[in-house]
Amino acid sequence: MKHLLNAHDLSHEEAVLILDTAAEMETLTDRSVKKLPALRGRTVVNLFFEDSTRTRISFEAAAKRLSADVINFAAKGSSVSKGESLKDTALTLQAMGADAIVIRHSASGAPQQLASSGWVDGSVINAGDGRHQHPTQALLDAYTMRKHLRNNTGDLEGVKVTIIGDVLHSRVARSNVQLLHTLGADVTLVAPPTLLPVGVQTWPATVSYDLDESLPGSDVVMCLRVQRERMNEAFFPTEREFSLRYGFDSERLARLSDDVVVMHPGPMNRGLEIGDAVADSPQSVIVEQVANGVTVRMAVLYLLLGGGPADEGTPR
Ligand code: CP
């Protein structure tokens, strides 16, 4: 595998290999020196045309923990604001010797275009493109579920995951449904009809409009961010009505098992798709998801860039 563009490109074997490699990477966090020399002399470019906190910082931390050189590129403040194209930006990065380009872009398919264009030689990793895909988010989410529900081994066969909210605009939902299906989990999507995409019935998931009917029996409840910035029309009458019907609040949490795992990819709209008390509850693993993002992204960079087994201190 040279690139990571879509969650559905991963076979069951490849997905489990990434999760297992991340588990080995996690043992690093117990060491006083958290660095491995695996990617010494390699260059990772973070090419972000859209805002990000978690993904950009965790890719930077992941690359640095593997001893790679990191170049951070944000479209704001670059020559993109003078009209430079994706092609010319890519050619500039290629001239700097990028071994991997981590790209976030508002246009669905931009990472695919970069990977297939021949503009760059290195690996391309999709860090979120439009409504389309966010494969490393799905991997870190699966890793977090596996840690809590499967002793951090194997896959997620039979795990019941309920994903709530703005499915229509969510690359997180698309990637999660595909990867969770590959790993054997049972996914239910719950949203108002206006926030479900055309063709959702063909996805490998159950679809429901009724949250209270869908929640019982869930092992994992994942709330999606309501993406106001992608909404140029009204998708629900009022935020209060959305919150009453689809918000995961403390009353709904109280009806579930104490072992339920509560997730959110962030950033959260507290009080809209998720209640304050739920986000901060003992069942919430939202902060842990961010930490797991570093180890999972280390695993992805390590496997794509072929950190050699001969390198001292690298995982097998
Ligand atoms: N979950 C996620 O992609 O967060 P950021 O937008 O902060 O990277």
Q: How confident is the model over 52-84, as pLDDT tens digits?
A: 999 999 999 999 999 999 999 888 878 887 888
- Residues 212 and 128 grouped into a single domain: no
- Residues 97 and 154 grouped into a single domain: no
Q: Is residue 54 part of a domain?
A: yes
Q: Which atom of ligand 1 is nearest to the CA of 128?
A: 3
Q: Is residue 197 part of a domain?
A: yes
| Nearest in space to 213 (alpha carbons), one of 181, 197, 190 | 190
* Domain of 220, in residue numbers: 135-288
Burial grade of 193 (CB within 10 A; 0-12, 13-18, 19 or more): exposed
- Residues 127 and 219 grouped into a single domain: no
Cα–chain-centroid distance for residue 259?
23
Structure tokens at 254: 């109280």
Reduced to 3 DSSP states, what percent helix, strand and coil does the chain have, rounded to the nearest 5? 40, 15, 40
Any idea which residue has 């009353």 for tokens?
251
Per-residue model confidence (pLDDT) at position 307: 65
Residue 228 belongs to domain with CATH number? 3.40.50.1370
Q: Which of 48, 50, 54 to mutate to test the pocket of ligand 1 (most atoms within 8 A of CB)?
A: 54
Structure tokens at 240: 């209060």
- Residues 130 and 147 grouped into a single domain: no
Q: How many domains does the chain have?
A: 2
Per-residue model confidence (pLDDT) at position 224: 98
- Residues 186 and 93 grouped into a single domain: no
Percent of the chain past pLDDT 70, that is, above it, reads: 96
- Residues 212 and 121 grouped into a single domain: no
- Residues 82 and 145 grouped into a single domain: no
- Residues 225 and 300 grouped into a single domain: no
Per-residue model confidence (pLDDT) at position 229: 78
- Residues 119 and 43 grouped into a single domain: yes
Q: Is residue 2 part of a domain?
A: no
- Residues 111 and 211 grouped into a single domain: no
Q: Is residue 23 part of a domain?
A: yes
Ligand 1 midpoint to CA 312 (Å):
33
Per-residue model confidence (pLDDT) at position 310: 35
Name the amino acid, one letter, at 290.
Answer: V
List, for residues 224-239, the tens digit of each pLDDT value.
999 987 776 678 878 8
* Ramachandran assignment for 304, one of left (phi > 0), alpha (psi -120 to 50 degrees), beta (any other): alpha
Per-residue model confidence (pLDDT) at position 316: 41
Name the amino acid, one letter, at 124.
Answer: V
Q: Which residues contact 124 (CB under 8 A, 6 or more apart)?
A: 3, 4, 5, 100, 101, 103, 111, 114, 115
Q: Is residue 314 part of a domain?
A: no
Ligand 1 midpoint to CA 58 (Å):
10
Q: Which atom of ligand 1 is nearest to the CA of 293?
A: 1
**For ligand 1, which residues put their CB under 6 angstroms from it?**
52-55, 128, 137, 265-267
- Residues 167 and 271 grouped into a single domain: yes
Q: What is the dihedral of CA 38, 44, 50, 52, to 10 degrees?
A: 30
* Lowest-confidence segment of 85-89, 150-154, 202-206, 301-305 by average pLDDT: 85-89
311 pLDDT tier (thresholds 50, 70, 90): very low
* Ramachandran assignment for 8, one of left (phi > 0), alpha (psi -120 to 50 degrees), beta (any other): alpha
